[in-house]
Amino acid sequence: MFSKILIANRGEIACRVINTARKMGILTVAVYSDADANSLHVNMADEAIYLGPSPSRESYLLGENVIAAAKKTGAQAIHPGYGFLSENAEFCRLCEQENITFIGPPVAAIEAMGSKSAAKSIMEQAQVPLVPGYHGDDQTEAVIKKAADDMGYPVLLKATAGGGGKGMRQVWSEAEFSEGFAAAKREAKSSFGDDTMLVEKYLTQPRHVEIQVFCDNHGNAVYLFERDCSVQRRHQKVIEEAPAFNMSAALRAQMGESAIKSAKAIGYQGAGTVEFLLDVDGSFYFMEMNTRLQVEHPVTEMISGQDLVEWQLRVAAGERLPKTQDELAINGHAFEARIYAEDANNDFLPATGTLSFLQPPEESEHVRVDTGVRQGDEVSVYYDPMIAKLIVWDENREKALQRLTKALTEYKINGVTTNIDFLYNLATTPAFINQDIDTGFIEKHHSDIFHSNEQTLADELPMAALYLVLSLAEKAQIAAANTTDPYSPWNTTNAWRLNEAHLHQLFLSHNEIEYPVNVEQKRQGTGSYYLITVNHPQFAERTLDCQGRIEGDKLHVSIDGHRSQATITRDGDNISLYRQNGVFNFTYIQPDCGIHDDHEQQGGLTAPMNGTMVSVLINAGDKVVKDQPLMILEAMKMEHTIKAPSDGVVETLYYKAGDMVDGGCELLAFNTED
């Protein structure tokens, strides 16, 4: 076994590898950039080597620098984590040349899976199921139609030169084929100047199910069951679970054996994941193989009881697999939710900022948090905006899902916008609970997840108003206790008034709708109760009799005799109520005291975040139309297109391609067309 390894990565995966190495008595070397000089993974490692400036292409992606760091510290092996150099065949070859063990597959395996078309060719020869289709040179309608008839409808006609959905048609029956074929060819010719077509079986409700495989250097291979990763946004996974729901033992074995067949076909070694599309009829098709550890590997660890990083280290050191297939078994159910700094309500735009408050849920045998950040750390523009992975386990899916929703309510983060509310809403939608899931889940259930459908707010709005009033009373009590005369009548909070109602007039906003709320406080013995009236047609001006108390982050209420509770988080004027049916976000609209910002900029477009200007698509003086792309900004490994908000004229450009851009700065001067 190695005595020292270098981890060629950062963040939570670097911390994850360090934890296992420490448990095995292996010394660790971290690498870091300017942005990560004081990061958690650097502090956890036994040694750390500086790689270069913050951009990954100038630090973490420089294979020669990583190799030099390993040689300088005497590290015998390099763990690449995922991303960066993890699937870089040239880096793997460089490790081999320098006699440093690459903790991953051999060069040939990485190269074989690096090309999707070549990978499918290899899998076809290995008799691994592929999506049925015709990709031949004979382009006559009769030949392509026969292929469609043979594979069965629905099918998908696609332009081979296509992209962006152009030259593509779904054909649901034989009767529709000719019309769809002609339309697809016309569009392909018009868009690409090439009307060559292919046809594939169209999967209407596919699930993304992947198999974790492991191979050693002695010819042994096992699969550690499957993960369902169907819930995705922008083709990136959001919530993963293991095992996959509604998976029979026979289908699991069939998919597992196909995955092993895939791995053996390329002489695989180490941890790998074979990804399949699973159709509603139980048929499955190879998509690709990831030649590394996956982000979602913890759910497999939770149900199998195995440490996959330890397996990686043992296999890389030449040992045999720790378990045989017969010795592996599934125990319970696990979920992983990816906690991101991003604005789910703004097309999942990544967010940056300082984690001014960070309190994860308490870890236990049921709850695990994999992270690479601490309170006070910065989520920078240079890397993926993942803050942590929240992993939960219990004996079945229903109980594990309850663990997940509870843990999400206990995850407190201030300083940056996160997707925690989005994850909670998603996990509490009836469709997710009832396993009605496929790769189009978020799009299909968008209204339920984002609460963009009309909300009754029958309990939630009065609860938010009551919380505000109770918070004010609590604040007043604390202030009174800190004065020289805590019993002064000016410090009482018992609603006593001389011939006057104790009335609070509040304005709360939800989904951009403003609700005026009157809260009248009444005395009742030594305590108080509240009469709450929402002055909005949706509530028909009904007055509710409410009582409540705040205990930590819990609000306990009684509304017209109906007792319930909610978990509350508050960040300034933003209040979130975590209820059984989702998160309800309210904004407390402070009274307008006549203060206005006279310096508000007009007629400009601002950068949504820090980044690099990739391309400027227009010139000063150009007339543009609404939604026309104007600029492309790259930030946090993603491109963001800046579009015209309306028809108008671009007056002045303030940035050119290659410039660094600060979030919130004005990108151009824009004159709206009257």
> Which active-site residues does the annotation give?
292
CA distance 385 to 503: 44
DSSP 526-556: TEEEEEEEE-SGGGTT-EEEEEEEEETTEEE
Torsion angle of alpha carbons 321, 324, 327, 328, nearest 10°? 70
Question: What DSSP element (H or E) covers 64?
Answer: helix 63-73
CA-based nearest residue to 102, from 113, 90, 119: 90
Contacts of 476 (CB under 8 A, 6+ apart): 491, 493
Other Cβ atoms within 10 Å of 527 Cβ, number: 11
Provide the greatest CA pair distance for the chain. 94
Hey, which residues does 669 pair with through a beta bridge?
604, 652
Contacts of 404 (CB under 8 A, 6+ apart): 335, 337, 390, 392, 427
Is the Cα dihedral 541, 542, 546, 550 positive or negative? negative
Which pair of structure tokens corresponds to residue 274? Answer: 């074979």
Which pair of structure tokens corresponds to residue 417? Answer: 């916008």
Strand runs (DSSP E) across 279-394, as ranges?
A: 284-290, 333-340, 342-343, 349-350, 353-354, 357-359, 367-371, 378-379, 386-394
Q: Which amino acid is at 188?
A: A
Strand order of the β-sheet with 284-290 is: 284-290, 270-278, 207-215, 221-233, 236-242, 333-340, 386-394, 367-371
CA distance 349 to 569: 22
